[in-house]
Amino acid sequence: MLKKLKLENILFLDIETVPEFESFQELSDDKKLLWEDKTQYQRKEEFTAEEFYDRAGIWAEFGKIVCISVGYFTFKNDERTFRTTSFQGNESALLTEFKKLLNEYFNKPNHLLCAHNGKEFDFPFIARRMLIHGIELPEKLNLFGKKPWEVPHLDTLELWKFGDYKNFTSLKLLTHILGIPSPKEDIDGSQVRNVFYNEKSVDRIVAYCERDVVAIAQIILKFRQEKLLTESEIVSV
C-alpha cells in the first residue's frame, strides 16, 4: 500500500512548540490553577506547578507553536528533489500561512500529511491552536465525522508500531536503527524552549525542525525500499 502512494502527494511536516509564556508567573491566576490541575498526575510530589512549567509546550492548552516546517518531493525529467520550507513568527500568522499552503496546494483527496507521532501530537496540536486563534480548520485537519480510513494522515511512528500500540520509538532512534544518516545536530527537542526564550534564536529552531522533516521523508523512502535522499537532492526554500 505504501509503495502505491505517489511521493509528490505527501506533505511531510514537523512542529516545534514552547510554553505559551516564558515564565509561570505570567499566567493568570485562573490559568495557574488550571495548569496545576492538568499536570498533577505527571508531577506527583516531585515538582511544583511552577517548576514543571518549562514542559508546558507539549500541551496545546498551555503551549504554542513557534515553527512549522514542511517538505515535499518534486520530480522533473527523472530528477528527484525534496524541498523544505518553514513558517515561523507570530503563531496566528504562521498557522494562517500553513492553512493557505494546505488549501492551495494540498487540498485534493489523494493528498496526505505525514509526520512522526503526528496523529498523537503534531496534527491535533495544530488543529487545537487554530481553533484557539479562531482559524477555521482546513479540510486536511478537520476530522469531524471522518471514518478512520478516511483520515488523510500518515504517521511514521504508527507504521513502525505494526499494531504494537504500547511501543514508542523516537525519531532519533528510528533513523539510527534504519541506518538513515543523521545530519549534524545543533539542538534537540528538549532545548527548544531555552533556545527560543533565552537565546532568542528562532533560526536554530527552524534548522532543527527542517532536519526532522527530512528524516521523516527518509523513513518513508526506507519503508518503500527506495534510495535515500542525498544532500544534493535537498533544497531549503
CATH number of the domain that residue 15 is part of: 3.30.420.10
User: What are the beta bridge partners of residue 85?
Assistant: 70
User: What are the beta bridge partners of residue 76?
Assistant: 79
pLDDT of residue 177: 96
Provide the pLDDT confidence category of residue 190 given band limits of 50, 70 and 90: confident
Range of the domain at 226: 2-20+62-236
Task: Indicate whether 47 belongs to any domain.
Answer: no
Task: Indicate whether 31 belongs to any domain.
Answer: no
Provide the pLDDT confidence category of residue 144 given band limits of 50, 70 and 90: confident
Task: Indicate whether 158 belongs to any domain.
Answer: yes
Residue 174 φ/ψ region, left for φ over 0, alpha for ψ in the -120 to 50 degree band, beta for the rest? alpha
Judged on CB neighbours under 10 Å (0-12, 13-18, 19+), 66 is: buried
Task: Indicate whether 55 belongs to any domain.
Answer: no
pLDDT at residue 134 tops 90: yes
Percent of all residues in the chain with a pLDDT value above 70, rounded to a whole number = 99
Q: Are 136 and 95 in contact (CB under 8 A)?
A: no
For the chain, helix, strand, coil in percent to 5 are 45, 20, 35
**pLDDT tens digits along 16-68:** 999 999 999 999 999 999 999 999 998 888 899 999 999 999 999 999 999 99
Q: Which amino acid is at 73?
A: F
Task: Indicate whether 207 belongs to any domain.
Answer: yes
pLDDT at residue 5 tops 90: yes
Q: Which helix (H) or strand (E) holds 13?
A: strand 10-19
Task: Indicate whether 147 belongs to any domain.
Answer: yes
Task: Indicate whether 94 belongs to any domain.
Answer: yes
Instruction: Report the domain count for the chain.
Output: 1
pLDDT of residue 183: 63
pLDDT of residue 198: 94
Distance CA 23, CA 41 (A): 21
Burial pattern 30-64, b for ≥16 Cβ within 10 A else e, equals ebbeebeebbeeeeeeeeebeebbbbbbebbebbb
Provide the edge-to-edge strand list for the sheet that holds 10-19: 153-155, 112-115, 10-19, 63-76, 79-88, 234-236
Q: Which residue in this structure is represented by grid cell 478512520?
A: 148
Distance CA 151, CA 147 (A): 7
| Range of 11-20, 43-52, 140-149 with top mean pLDDT | 11-20
pLDDT at residue 169 tops 80: yes
Task: Indicate whether 57 belongs to any domain.
Answer: no
The predicted model gives 178-196 an average pLDDT of 84
pLDDT of residue 184: 60
Q: Which residue in this structure is represented by grid cell 532519533?
A: 172
Q: Are 115 and 216 in contact (CB under 8 A)?
A: yes
Q: Are 95 and 133 in contact (CB under 8 A)?
A: yes
Q: Report the mean per-residue pLDDT for the chain.
A: 94
Burial pattern 210-233, b for ≥16 Cβ within 10 A else e, equals bbbbbbbbbbbbbeeeeeebeeee
Instruction: Lowest mean pLDDT of 113-117, 161-165, 218-222, name the range.
Output: 161-165
Nearest residue to 221 via CA among 73, 15, 68 = 73
Q: Could you tell me whether strands 234-236 and 63-76 are parallel, antiparallel, or unpaired per DSSP bridges?
A: unpaired
